[in-house]
Amino acid sequence: MTGSTLGIVAAAFVLLLAYTYQMNVRILKSHAILNNQKNLRLISEKIDDYLKMLELVSAFTYENDLQMLLTRTDDETDITAMRRLRNFQNFYYKRLVSLEYDRQIQDIYFIYPDGEALHKGNGLLNPETDFTEYAWYQEAVNASGRPVIVDTHTQDYNWAFKYSDHGESGFYISVARSVNSNYDNSLLGVLMMDVELTELTELLGPLLPDEKSMVYFADESGTILYSSDLSDIGERLPAALAEEYVRSPEGAAEQRLNGEDQVVTWLVSAKTGWYLINTNPTDIIVSEIDQMKTDMLLVGIAAFLVTAGIMAWYAGRVLGPVKRLSVAMRQVEEGHLDVKLERAPDDETGDMIKSFNHMTGRLGELIRDNYLIRIKEKDAQIASLQLQINPHFLYNTLESVNAIAMVHEVEEISVISKALADMFRYSIRNAGNLVTVREELLHVQNYMEIQRVRFGKKVLLCCEAEEETKELPIIPFVLQPLIENSIKYNVEAAGRPVKIRVVIKREEERLSLCVEDDGIGIGKEALAQLKEMLAQSEQPAEKGMHVGLRNVNDRLKLHFGPASGLRMESVANRFTSVLFEIPVNQPGRGSPEDSEDRAPLC
């Protein structure tokens, strides 16, 4: 093994190690992004659940009992006002306990249009607070009963929370909705409910592996509604973040923020329309593979030394047999197909030599088989020419019989001989070729001319062929054997008149042909045997066992594929139908040169 080969191997190892390291970095980033997006979805779903819960509770305001509690009277005293407040608190206390929402919903407020407010909690409302001046109050009134989401905020209107450490985050999300009277649809007031964000802050843990990691909730304008750094609430997002997350409702990107490369993930809450954004320094994410980089370098050096030794040993073992194989392949290129190589040891090279010997042997067999096939094709062509001698003789004889019958005015003989002559001419001209549907129908018509002479009105044939189908190609002699079968088993065998119906139509890219009669039908057992016989196309047909059906079935399958075989259905003493379909994309032969205008068969 040369020094250049070792250099190539060393370069390959260096590239492999670098590629592996970069792949691990990308995998770690990808996993971090997936985990962060998963956690963001959990937070978004939690927010959505809170809001759905608040919407459900707010619907209680349309219960008659609560509306009666909320209705004020002109002669109300301080005692009745206090009783109204207590009744309001008791009503929601019982409702929230029954639904197990008492721990999630921090407080419930009902604000009358004149500014008076009731609330469920025990804290005291700030007397200077006028809820009607808040933007969300008027928005709820204008929303006509639809819930309005109140962005994250503090409870500066409730002294119990303003002057205590109650709540871990100190921030709330709320839902407000207007309440109209059930009696006259007048505005009673606005209901507003607060949920403290404690549980959300607990969910932020996995998103904050480092003190430099951040989580933001922001509205469409980029205003921070909530942040893992509470001092950021109400501020604007960094410009780089605001430009990135508005591009799509969910995604991830790498950006440089505050002088560091960071991985940013975001998504939009379906319920609130808020953007949930998480940033993590890239160094924190990839710190786990710093030791891996050193380990990979040591393993790579050891692997290179082992590989170099194996290559040196293996090259001496493999190059000799490969060289012999190369010489033998050049001999095959020159036409020496009898080249054989001695077996090499049982390894990959030995398998290659075995495959080479098998290939040369198969090439010789294929050449001999192809030569024999060519000979058989020539023999078949000669036999076909010889077989045409007798039909030509019979055709000319029938033409003579027809002429004599016309002279002596024997119409039946003339009809039979003319129809039989046309049938022989059809068989001579179309042997091995495709014909049009029109030509096949003319052949059927000639056949029926003979049957009418034989059976008279006992046989009635009706052909229904769409005009667009008559120039489509088909193999010859497929309809007449099916019609002959109906006559044979109904008129000849059972002595029963029969009506035969031929339906030909196009269904998209398939041509459908159906032959149906109203004869004696076929029993279930016999029909099952017949279907099994048609399915076993590779087995030779037994003498007298529906050779005509078997012949048509095999020819259809050979020419158009297995899906074009015959399909049969029958009910005893009711009907028998034979259907087959062929593709319409086969090239046709056009109109027959000697077609005649004849009366319809039915």
Residue 105 is predicted with a pLDDT of: 80
Closest CA to 467 of 505, 440, 432, 435: 505
CA 140 to CA 178: how far, in whole Å?
A: 6
Burial letters 168-191, b for 16+ CB under 10 A, else e? ebbbbbbbbbbbbeeeeeeebbbb
Mind listing the pLDDT tens digit for each residue in 87-131?
888 888 787 777 777 777 878 888 999 888 888 876 677 778 888
Q: Quick check: 568 pLDDT over 50? A: yes
Q: Quick check: 232 pLDDT over 90? A: no
DSSP string, 297-362: HHHHHHHHHHHHHHHHHHHHHHHHHHHHHHHHHHHHHTT-TT-------SSHHHHHHHHHHHHHHH
Residue 591 carries which side chain, given as an amino acid letter? S
Mind listing the pLDDT tens digit for each residue in 295-349?
767 777 777 677 777 766 666 566 666 777 777 777 777 776 677 777 666 666 7
Of the candidate ranges 52-56, 360-364, 400-404, 593-597, the one whose mean pLDDT is the lowest = 593-597
CA 210 from centre of chain: 43
* CA torsion angle 505 508 511 513 (round to 10): -40
- Non-local (6+) Cβ contacts of 82 within 8 A are none
- Non-local (6+) Cβ contacts of 203 within 8 A are 39, 42, 43, 46
Count CB neighbours of 64 within 10 A: 9
Mind listing the pLDDT tens digit for each residue in 51-62?
777 778 877 877
Mind listing the pLDDT tens digit for each residue in 240-295?
676 665 567 788 887 777 777 888 888 888 777 888 888 888 777 776 666 666 77
> Strand 498-507 vs strand 459-465: parallel, antiparallel, or unpaired?
parallel
Query: The pTM is what?
Result: 0.42
CATH numbers and ranges of domains, the chain: 63-200 (3.30.450.20), 437-583 (3.30.565.10)
Kindly tell me the burial class for residue 446, based on how many C-beta atoms sit within 10 Å of its own C-beta (0-12, 13-18, 19 or more): buried
Instruction: Tell me the mean pLDDT in the region 569-577.
Output: 92
- The chain-wide mean pLDDT, for the chain, equals 77
Mind listing the pLDDT tens digit for each residue in 498-511?
999 999 999 888 99
Q: Quick check: 562 pLDDT over 70? A: yes
Of the candidate ranges 133-147, 165-179, 551-565, the one whose mean pLDDT is the lowest = 165-179
How many helices (H) and strands (E) in the chain? 16, 17
Kindly tell me the burial class for residue 192, based on how many C-beta atoms sit within 10 Å of its own C-beta (0-12, 13-18, 19 or more): buried
Please give the helix or strand (H or E) that residue 560 lies within, else none: helix 547-560
Burial letters 421-445, b for 16+ CB under 10 A, else e? bbbbbbeeebeeebbbbbbbbbbbb
CA 257 to CA 238: how far, in whole Å?
A: 8
Q: Quick check: 26 pLDDT over 70? A: yes
